Structure formats: C-alpha cells, structure tokens
Amino acid sequence: MRLTRQAAGIGRPRLRVAISPGMPEALSAATVSRLRDITTDANVDVTCLETFLDTEFTLIGQHHADAGLGWLVAADQVLPVHLDAMSLGDFEPDVWVPSSHPAAQREVISLGELARLDVVHGPRRAWPGIYDAWLASLRSADSRFEFTDPPFRRSLPLTLAFAASASRPTAVLTGPRHLAGGRTASEDRAADGSEMVCVRLTRPSLRRARRSRGAPTCHASFSRSSSTSQTASTCTRDAVAADGRPGKRGRGPARPLGRRPVGSMLAA
C-alpha cells in the first residue's frame, strides 16, 4: 500500500516555490530547472507559484509557500527569524531615454537628469520595496517627483513606444534586469522603431554617496522557511547554493554568492 501511494505521488514531501513576476528570465529559469532536477532525484514534488512577493517574503511566513525567489532592496536587510536566505547577486534596471536627449549620446544619465524627465515605472503593487527605493532616490534630486504607471506592464516594446510618442520628454525605468556591472548600455542600445535608447545610470563616488542618496541596487534572494521538511530544505539549499553559502537567518543579511553570470552560478 505504501509503495502504491508513493508511486502515485501521495505522501511524498512537497515544496511550494513562489516566484515573483518580473524576475530576470534567465535567473528564474535556471533556479526552477535546477530545483526540478534535484527534487526529482530526492522524490520531492515541486509546485511553482507565480505571485508577487514583498521584500519580507510574507507569503512564506503565512505558510502559503515554502520558498521564494524575490527581491531585497538592501544587502543588509534583516529578514524574519523563520527565514533562511541565499543571495543570488546584485541586479540593476535599464533606463531608456529619447534618442534626442543628450544622455543618449553619452550613453549615461544622472539621477538629477532622470528626475527632470517624466519617468514610466511600476506599478507600485508589482514591487513596492523597489518602487519606494527608486522614488526616494529620485526625490532626493526633485522633491516633487512622481512616477507614471506603464500602460502596458508586461510589454517593454509597447511601453517604449508609449514613451517615445509622449508630448513631454519621457524615460522608461524597468525593474531589475541584469547583474550590476554585468553589461554596457551599448549591448542593448536601440529599441527598434521606438526612437528610444538604453543608457546607464551614473554611480556616485563613495565620498559623494555618503552625503546623498544614490541609485538603489536590488538584491535577488532565494528565501525558504526554516520549518520546511529536512528533505525539501536540503533540495532548496543544493539547488541554489551549489557553490555559495546560506545567508544568516533573521539577524543579518544574506551573503552574496558573487557576480558571476547567472548561467554558471546555477549550473548543475
């Protein structure tokens, strides 16, 4: 009877993994692929849930998921005591500006210049922590700054076309998309037909950063409940941290695994 139940998948450990929409596709795909490989060998069922995760990973604390792939807005963010976290690196957004803007020629734009434009970003309900961090940074340059919600949240080309056709100079700030310092704007510089150009944000020097708020960097984190079954917990650890270390639970930041490309970081 027990063998029959196991063959049918009844009574096996189950791992519910929440993945926040808008995570970089390569990161999500590599994480899920490796999880499935390891849990299959361990006879653990995996269910992936695409749902919004806040920066506290509340969904896990409410026992609606056992683990989650989402964002932290600070490397030293303290997570609830019931969570173990592993950092997957620092990620940055893309900034798109009209091709007629001076920053398009320089391939770089400052926070002050960006704050003087209309900026399409959000909506806030998608990533509240990230949205608020960027809003605070841009308000340090212009206290009256407000974002414009994108009319097409899941289509960057349509959003770029919307910005290009606006009556006022309009930029597009995406969610976190690539490893910090992992590429130059020229790698993805022109948007076909939209007259928009991808540029980099300037980073303040260390001395200047101590006096003013700089552009925030988001930290991809894989967090899991410390109460997950031993078998499922081992699977998540092996899948995400094959060459890294777990973060501190509750009282400290997740430890970074380095800034290697996602493919090699999560490769089997």
pLDDT at 96: 95
- Find the range with the poorest average confidence among 167-181, 207-221, 247-261: 247-261
Higher pLDDT residue, 31 or 265? 31
Domain 95-174+181-211's class?
alpha beta
- What is the percent of the chain with per-residue pLDDT over 90, rounded to a whole number? 26
Amino acid making up residue 135: L
Which tens digit of pLDDT belongs to each residue from 50-79?
Answer: 988 888 888 888 889 998 998 887 766 777
On the CB side of 111, CA atoms within 13 Å amount to: 20
Which tens digit of pLDDT belongs to each residue from 91-113?
Answer: 888 999 999 999 999 999 999 99
Place of tokens 């909506």: 123
Amino acid making up residue 171: A
**pTM for the predicted model, two decimal places:** 0.71
Superfamily of domain 2-89+218-265: Periplasmic binding protein-like II (3.40.190.10)
Positive or negative: CA dihedral 47, 52, 57, 63 = negative
Structure tokens at 265: 């970081």
pLDDT at 192: 54
Residue 62, SS3 per DSSP: coil
Listed by start position, the domains of the chain span 2-89+218-265, 95-174+181-211
Identical fold, 2-89+218-265 and 95-174+181-211 = yes
